[in-house]
Amino acid sequence: MSNHVNGMEDRSVHRMVIDKSTPASDKDSPVDYSILRMPFLRRITTDLQEAWPVLQSALEEYDISCALDMDRYFITFTTTRTKDPYAILKSRYLLRLLSAAVPALQAVKVLNGIPCHLIYTGYHIGGLCKKFGIKMEL
């Protein structure tokens, strides 16, 4: 490796120190650090609190930590250098399911590779009725 930048010698190259004791120094992982955060509905707070130990233990297998913010109604997943790059995608699907009020014990199955699809119906943004112009009869 050359320590020349634009024809000039860069003296800071020789002074760089890399801390190899942190878990973020794992060379096999393609992802350094990721944070996934999503709001959830207030009406499912008790369900989430009851299922929270199950969620934590399921995510610990993939080196993903989770936090439940009851004041702001947010779920946060954090990971550093996980061995399975698909674990981040699976945890994103898990977050989407939890925020859509899917029961936590059913949503955890996504981590084991079971596919999931959320189909929004109704008149909100992305809903099938709004997308296809279906009128509501009174």
- Residue 23, in any domain of the structure: no
pLDDT digits (tens, 9 = 90+) for 37-89: 888 888 888 888 999 999 999 988 888 889 999 999 888 988 876 677 788 88
pLDDT digits (tens, 9 = 90+) for 19-38: 344 454 455 555 567 888 88
What is the number of structural domains in the chain? 1
Of the ranges 12-16, 41-45, 92-96, 106-110, which one carries the lowest mean pLDDT score? 12-16
Question: Can you give 22-75 as a three-state secondary structure string?
Answer: CHHHCCCCCCCEEEEEEECCHHHHHHHHHHHHHHHHHHHCCCEEEEEECCCCEE
- Residue 17, in any domain of the structure: no
CB 74, CB 37: distance < 8 Å:
yes
pTM passes above 0.75? no
What CATH number is associated with residue 109?
3.30.1370.10
pLDDT band of 13, cuts 50, 70, 90: very low
- Residue 86, in any domain of the structure: yes
Q: Kindly tell me if the per-residue pLDDT of 17 is higher than 70.
A: no
pLDDT band of 4, cuts 50, 70, 90: very low
In whole angstroms, give the CA distance from residue 83 to residue 61: 10
